[in-house]
Structure 1
Amino acid sequence: MGLEQFKNRNVGTQNYTKLDLPRSPVTGWCKFKQVVSRTLSGELFVGLGVTMRIMVQSLVGGQSHATLYPFEKLPISPRYRAIHEMLRLLESGHYRCIGCGLCEKICPADCITMDTAYDKNQRKEVTEYTINFGRCIFCGYCAEVCPELAIVHGNRIETASEQRASFSLFDDMLTPIDNLNLQQEYQGFGAVTPNADENIKKTPLAY
């Protein structure tokens, strides 16, 4: 339809279809009849049939569609940002953190507190390191900015506690010295990938 035809169109000559829509019930009896008619229409029983079928498959056939947490846990991605972990040096067992304070400065939630001092060998050591998980938003900035790969996100996702101060101390996040041989280097958000050396030679600007 052109512009002139659109302007000169006769709206009264067009054919319209009038829809006879049911009115909303006003009285209590009309509302009751509407509920009964919708209940007996079959839509409710279709949903109940699907529920019963899934329940029978779970009880009789053993085809469970749910995970029995905490007895069963779904696998999580190695790049998932869970509770932080502090890694150690595999050679000496000393913690990798050098106390540079970059994680404390970059934290947008201001939940990292660090205090450092110099030991007898004039090496900076971390005397206090806490993360307030009540304020942490698990953005991963601390793991990305760490120059020593000392802090990564592990696979511990249970953060429930009775005290706010729980799971926030440096020793709680540090890898136990007895399990140093079980420490996985390339795991957790913020850690480098196993083929990082090959990738950095190909595209150095991307790394």
Structure 2
Amino acid sequence: MSLEQFSKRDATPGYIYYEGEKKPKTPWESFLRVVRRAFKGELFVGLWIVLREMVTKGNTHTLMYPEEKFVMGPRYRAVHKLLRLQESESERCIGCGLCEKICISNCIRMETKLDENSRKEVSQYTINFGRCIFCGYCAEVCPELAIVHSGDYENASEQRAHFGLKDDMLTPLDEFKANKQQEFPGFGALSDDADSFVKKTPLAY
């Protein structure tokens, strides 16, 4: 492109052309360019904001874990819990197997048997948390609201294939009798007016 053509293009209305920074010709000009680029005003503004937040009381944004822990949201999907019936203290799980069938990670295993009353009960229930993606389908499909996602996100293990056994997830009877079973407001949770329309359940006979 000739100089004359460039001048015509530069004169086009509505266009702004950046000519670029002039190349330094001397070592001193190169040094000044390095200093100008490295010590801009925005750098010191950012440093001042960080320092101000550090020394201002009440502006701490760090939790002292594990003494302090985050309060998880109501729809947070962490380690599963198996709940009990409020009226009979029995397990809510009826062994239908829907959670095992819908699990897209193929991490739920269930074994059932007949009890002395010829009713099906769950003998073994495991979830492989090494495979689980915590999608929430198992809790969403459960007809008895037996399995829910809790806020317990600390599920580290020395083994890669960490299994969650039924006894670990089921609410202990002593905690249940002490009214310590938490009703989670996420997937599989009871509504606030559940007692008004729940009359009798099969496991309460």
Amino acid at match of 2:80: H
Give 1:52 shift.
1.2
1:48 alignment counterpart: 47
Q: Secondary structure at the match of 2:187?
A: coil
Work out the CA distance in 2 between the residues paired with 1:147 and 1:127: 19
Work out the CA distance in 2 between the residues paired with 1:100 and 1:173: 18
2:131 alignment counterpart: 135
1:178 alignment counterpart: 174
Give 1:32 shift.
5.7
TM-score by length of 2: 0.76
**Residues 21-47 of structure 1, C-alpha deviations (whole Å, 9 max, x = no match):** 12688xx99876543221233222222
**Residues 86-133 of structure 1, C-alpha deviations (whole Å, 9 max, x = no match):** 011233322111111000000111110111111222111111111011
Distance 1:39 1:96, change over 3 A: same
Distance 1:84 1:12, change over 3 A: closer
Unaligned runs of 5+ in 1: 1-9, 199-207
1:151 alignment counterpart: 147
Distance 1:183 1:34, change over 3 A: same
TM-score by length of 1: 0.76
**Residues 123-147 of structure 1, C-alpha deviations (whole Å, 9 max, x = no match):** 1111111101111111111111111
Work out the CA distance in 2 between the residues paired with 1:41 and 1:136: 48
Distance 1:134 1:30, change over 3 A: farther
Unaligned runs of 5+ in 2: 1-7, 197-205
RMSD: 3.0
Work out the CA distance in 2 between the residues paired with 1:142 and 1:24: 65
Distance 1:77 1:120, change over 3 A: same
1:68 alignment counterpart: 64
Aligned length: 185
Amino acid at match of 1:79: R
